[in-house]
Structure 1
């Protein structure tokens, strides 16, 4: 398992994988994915508290010729590789604390115009194990209003199709509701450039679960600062 890109938690980072699976977890750079890691020597993982790795497991901030640091403000327990990665800094998470209200404000702004849902430019439909999003074919920002879970009609994994999206357009999917789930089997979009321009925005969710055997493409913004997001 792995988390690509820069990972920041304002609290602690605990790693304890289940028996029978790989006892390694990669941060910063992944075996598959965009293959665009953070700069070498930068913090791949930043924790505002303790970093705890279960016995017999390893947290890796390296792959091939690329490597980064693991910054933590509390105590470090367990194995982190390479040996040069761990970096104690009592203010490790300080640069990110001001982002919390900014992200909350942005999430609400993207989804609401005053107290009303922001007007959508496209429509969506769920049929079996497929969700199809259809844009208006012209707007520079394609907006979708979804008041449902991102899963199949039966509650299982779903695929996503986007039609009518102009080249280079920003795609904003506002997913409303306090409890939401995402379950997908789809690891890539046929639309070139869509992944980089797609934001899944959850402005209301206090409980969000994300499951499935494939990578969930696009960026995710969960606006509620007291929310819990579970990845499995």
Structure 2
């Protein structure tokens, strides 16, 4: 063990021994019995009977962020931070002293795994003065998205890796969505109706439970919180979960002690260590709206704290916190000897020692068997589930025109939808869903959720289509012979082949017998001019083939007639 570790443990033990601190819940015999969740429903990170102690890490490793900062982190004065610190913005260390991180001298003894991430910064990290001792005896890693000043020299990582310039996304890794889970969890607890009441006696704030439900819910105003010097339970079983919703624009804790049932302060570092360890793992302070938060001043502060406003600024100067400290805005560690101790919150595995990314664990509803428990008049589940819009892509119509694409949204109460970009074929548009009121959007496939879960976007690529104009046939050519329906103009008959001249017939070698003339041919004196006959046939509208046949017959008849006439003439001359 290093000298610095021994001194740190000695200082922590001495501090705890002299402190007068937080109150014990009423004894189990004094409160009515309650029905609690089975032990298997919660992840056991710290065994029963354990509280603030010194020694070697001995419990299951903590794979959850003990301190989460959505904005910037400043360490100006303090001593130790147990567990993993995640900062989405910039981190500055300017105390002039050594800062123990990851593994500490006094705490829950629930530490990150050896050589795992113990300091994660999305932006720049600056060690203006002092130094960092990270992962004492077991080693730890540092991941920085931006620049580290000075480079590595101000960090003793005990053999772990120190890397910078990674970029915010790579540096944060799975922790990038912790802010969304913080918002969702805070909204769920804020929507729960109160099951108990508060009572103020001087500077003592008494939380009066109903003694029956296993989740006692209270509402405390900012004025009640400011005047609270001590805190006491009444009518609350030691095994019950306690949720305190703080209203108002500010939340200033000035807690000096928590009181036992008999009104005396409890000693969380000694005889009341086990009782304090049980109490701090079952208490949650939910601060959904405040912009200015202070956690102080003279006692070990019990419970997990959620500060959900991203515009908030939180200062921690109490001797020690004992639970998850998750803030959406800025956080400053500003208290001499002040320490962050790593204790889980047993109501949800989101705040347990399980690894990230933390699932959106719906908060268990108030016991439905108990008829006394009031039903939340507001929606107890403020998360809204988004549905993927129906997309009808562009198509070609029969006339060659394009039917534009259409994006249809499923009507969702409390959500407004908008489209950025022109909805047309081949375009890329972005649709945005924005929630109204106090509700939040749940994570949904295809949607990119904003950090505050108040809006989500989806990128849609519309299909590109190309439509061809329809082919319109040209009118047919009336003279086209391939058109069987096109009539022949009777005034323009097809020209027949020209027959041989009838007056100059070819002289046959052997004259034909005049007695063997064609019986269908009339007398020789009744001859018909071949040209007139052909023209007559053509004029009747007959087809060209019919005209050719008629012309051939005419030539044959004329030829025979000519021969007969010639024979007669020759016979006459012979008689003379």
Question: Where on the TM-score scale, by shorter chain, does this alignment land: which range?
Answer: 0.7 to 0.9
| Correspondence for 1:77 | 149
- CA displacement at 1:172 relative to structure 2: 0.6
Give the Å deviation of 1:119: 1.8
Match of 1:115 in 2: none
Structure number with bigger Rg: 2
Corresponding residue of 2:135:
62
The 1:174–1:207 alpha-carbon spacing in structure 2 relative to 1, beyond 3 Å, is same
Q: 1:139 is paired with a residue of what secondary structure?
A: coil
The answer as to whether partners of 1:27 and 1:60 remain within 8 angstroms in 2 is yes
Tell me if structure 1 keeps the 8 A contact 2:114–2:135: no
**Residue equivalent to 1:203:** 288
Report matched runs for 1:78-157 at 5 Å.
78=150, 79-82=154-157, 84-85=159-160, 86-88=162-164, 89-90=166-167, 91-112=170-191, 118-149=192-223, 150-152=225-227
Conserved in 2, the CA contact under 8 Å of 1:207 and 1:227? yes
Runs of 4+ in 1 over 4 A off after TM superposition: 189-192
Tell whether the 8 Å contact from 2:226 to 2:251 is kept in structure 1 after alignment: no
1:142-221 to structure 2, matched below 5 A, reads 142-149=216-223, 150-152=225-227, 158-186=229-257, 188=268, 190=275, 193-221=278-306
Q: By percentage of residues, which structure has more strand?
A: 1
Residue 281 of structure 2 aligns to a residue whose secondary structure is helix
1:6–1:28 Cα contact (<8 Å) kept = yes
Superposition deviation, residue 191 in structure 1? 5.3
Equivalence for 2:101: 27
Query: 2:95 is paired with a residue of what secondary structure?
Result: coil
TM-score, structure 2 normalization: 0.36
Pair 1:148–1:107, CA change in 2 (3 A) = same
- C-alpha distance in structure 2 between counterparts of 1:164 and 1:201, whole Å: 21
Q: Residue 99 of structure 1 aligns to a residue in which SS?
A: helix
Any gaps of 5 or more consecutive residues in structure 1? 113-117
**Equivalents in 2 of 1:126, 1:13: separation in Å?**
39
Query: How far apart in 2 are the matches of 1:93 and 1:192?
Result: 30
SS in 1 for 2:233: strand
What CA distance in whole angstroms lies between the structure 1 residues aligned with 2:234 and 2:204? Answer: 13
Q: Contact 1:129–1:151 at 8 Å: present in 2 too?
A: no
Q: Given that residues 24 and 59 in structure 1 are in contact (C-alpha distance below 8 angstroms), is that contact kept between their aligned partners in structure 2?
A: yes
Q: Structure 1 29/126 Cα, relative in aligned 2: closer, same or farther at 3 Å?
A: farther
**8 Å contact 2:140–2:158 — kept in the other structure?**
no
Counterpart of 2:309 in structure 1 is: 224
**1:52 Cα offset (Å):** 1.1
String of CA shifts for 1:57-95, please: whole Å, max 9, x gaps: 1111133x3332222111212411135342334311142
Query: 1:96: how far off?
Result: 2.1
| Pairing 1:36–2:121 present | no
| Structure 2, unaligned runs of 5 or more | 1-78, 258-266, 318-576
Q: CA deviation at 1:97?
A: 2.3
> Per-residue deviation at 1:164?
2.2
Residues of 1 paired with 2:117 and 2:201: CA distance? Answer: 43
The Cα offsets for residues 169-196 of structure 1, whole Å up to 9 and x where unpaired, read as: 2111111112221122347474551111
Deviations 1:138-169 (A, max 9, x none): 2111101111253436xxxx222223222422
More helix by share: 2
Distance 2:124 2:174 in 1: 17
In the alignment, what sits opposite 2:119? 45
In structure 2, what is the Cα distance between the partners aligned to 1:199 and 1:75?
A: 35
Question: Which of 58, 79, 85 is residue 7 of structure 1 equivalent to?
Answer: 85
